[in-house]
Amino acid sequence: MAKIKKEDYLELRVKGSTRKEAAKKLGTSKQSLETYWFGKWGIKNDASEEVEIARYKELRTEKKQEVPGTQPTTEIKAETTTPSAPIEPEKPAPAQQQIEAIPTLPVQLTQEQADALRLVLQIKQPDEIVLHHSSTFIVTRERWRDELDPLNVLSMDEMIRALYFGFEAVKTPEELLIQEFENAEARFGAHSGVAFRTGLQIATDILGHKVVGINA
What's the pLDDT tens digit per position in 32-79? Answer: 999 999 999 999 999 999 999 999 999 988 887 765 554 544 444 444
Q: Are 156 and 126 in contact (CB under 8 A)?
A: no
Whether the Cβ atoms of residue 154 and residue 162 lie closer than 8 Å to each other: yes
Q: Dump pLDDT digits (tens) for 126-171.
A: 998 888 768 766 767 678 899 989 989 988 889 889 999 989 999 8
Residue 117: what residue type?
L
Please indicate, yes or no, whether the overall pTM of this predicted structure exceeds 0.85.
no
